Structure 1
Amino acid sequence: MSGQGAGGAPVQVAVCGPSACTDRQRRDAREVGRLLAERGAVVLCGGYGGVMAAAAEGARAADGITVGVLSGADRAGAGSDLSVVLPTGLGEARNSVLVRSADAVIVVGGSWGTLSELAHAMRRGDVPVVQLGGWRILDEDGRPLGGVLDAGGPEDAVALTGLWP
């Protein structure tokens, strides 16, 4: 894919991660957001703090479009770097809406909500799912489950989506 998704619309990439994140996760998410915006992607996120806010901040710094898919029924607590705010009132079910709206999913760090987003993205089976830090999911024999692409850094995470040459 180039910088366009279905119907010629811009590619949409969900950046998922915890609201309570480390400084490194914050830096990584900001850089991922910036890199995606520079490639013309719309950056989707959960719309609140931590990794979500950092990804939106990075994308906006590169004049990108950012969309926050909120769990709440109103815009309360939405990040200041969002171009579009979508209050769903769905609570955690919004995680499914978020990853279903994406052409690729990049997970930065991990929390229970982030694990939910990772699982929803993997269940889709039709989009690249890239992980930068965070969860390591093992099968019952202690072997890593396949499918999730592990990135070594923000540039690697964006490249592993396979959306740009």
Structure 2
Amino acid sequence: MSRRLLVGVIGAGSIDVAGAALAEEIGRRLAESGAVLVCGGLGGVMAAACRGAAGAGGETIGLLPGSDADSANNDVSIALPTGLGHARNVMIAQVSRVLIAVEGEYGTLSEIAIGLKLGKPVVVFGRWADLTGVHRVETAAEAVELALRLAVESRPADLNLS
């Protein structure tokens, strides 16, 4: 049985215009590849990435920190209220085949660290590039291309990218 690729897009809850454009392009490119975007479901990077994916006809899953599905951003296809607060970061890292970190602070760092601990590929932009084990990129196109390649290399047999 072939399964859809789940790609985690992680990052700050508040971002500037450049960060929003980057996250939106990543979301769009993931949707165009057939991947499902997984995120924390709220604002900032999460909302921009979901907007890009939804605009391209893609699916998005928001693992929300609280208990209210209505707190999800408008472009989350499937809102899953976990009631776990920051502990939902573990779920995001666990369910994603690969993670793309756009911007962020300690919450994003926790998702990166958990992803690495779980053996998941983690693709990052500038801020986190010095962390051991991450894959540094410069553009959205490069991030998505590398993330998809790493996902296929990590478990190629059951992956459907169509």
TM-score computed with the length of structure 2 as normaliser: 0.88
SS in 2 for 1:157: helix
| 4+ runs deviating over 4 angstroms | none
Deviation at 1:69, TM superposition (A): 0.3
Decide which of 90, 101, 104 is 2:95's aligned counterpart.
101
Q: 1:32 is aligned with what amino acid?
A: I
Decide which of 134, 138, 147 is 1:148's aligned counterpart.
134
Decide which of 6, 29, 40 is 1:12's aligned counterpart.
6
Give, in whole Å, the separation in 2 of the partners of 1:17 and 1:39: 21
SS in 1 for 2:71: coil
Give, in whole Å, the separation in 2 of the partners of 1:157 and 1:145: 16
Q: 1:105 is aligned with what amino acid?
A: L
Unpaired segments of 5 or more residues in structure 1? 1-6, 137-143
Deviation at 1:70, TM superposition (A): 0.3
Give, in whole Å, the separation in 2 of the partners of 1:42 and 1:80: 16
Partner of 1:3: none
Task: Give aligned pairs, total.
Answer: 151
Give, in whole Å, the separation in 1 of the partners of 2:37 and 2:113: 19
Deviation at 1:135, TM superposition (A): 2.9
TM-score computed with the length of structure 1 as normaliser: 0.87
Residue deviations 1:27-48, cap 9 Å, x none? 1100000000000000001000
Give, in whole Å, the separation in 2 of the partners of 1:110 and 1:10: 27
Q: 2:127 is aligned with what amino acid?
A: G
Residue deviations 1:36-83, cap 9 Å, x none? 000000000100000000000000000000000000011242100011
**TM-aligned CA distance change 1:147 to 1:106, over 3 Å:** same
Q: Quick check: which one's helix share is greater?
A: 2
Q: Percent identity?
A: 43
Greater mean alpha carbon deviation, residues 74-83 or residues 127-136: 127-136
Give, in whole Å, the separation in 2 of the partners of 1:145 and 1:83: 32
Give, in whole Å, the separation in 2 of the partners of 1:40 and 1:64: 7
Q: 2:21 is aligned with what amino acid?
A: R
Q: 1:74 is aligned with what amino acid?
A: D
Greater mean alpha carbon deviation, residues 155-164 or residues 111-120: 155-164
Unpaired segments of 5 or more residues in structure 2? 153-160
Q: Does 1:159 align with 2:153?
A: no
Greater mean alpha carbon deviation, residues 41-50 or residues 145-154: 145-154
Residue deviations 1:63-110, cap 9 Å, x none? 000000000011242100011000000010000001100111000012
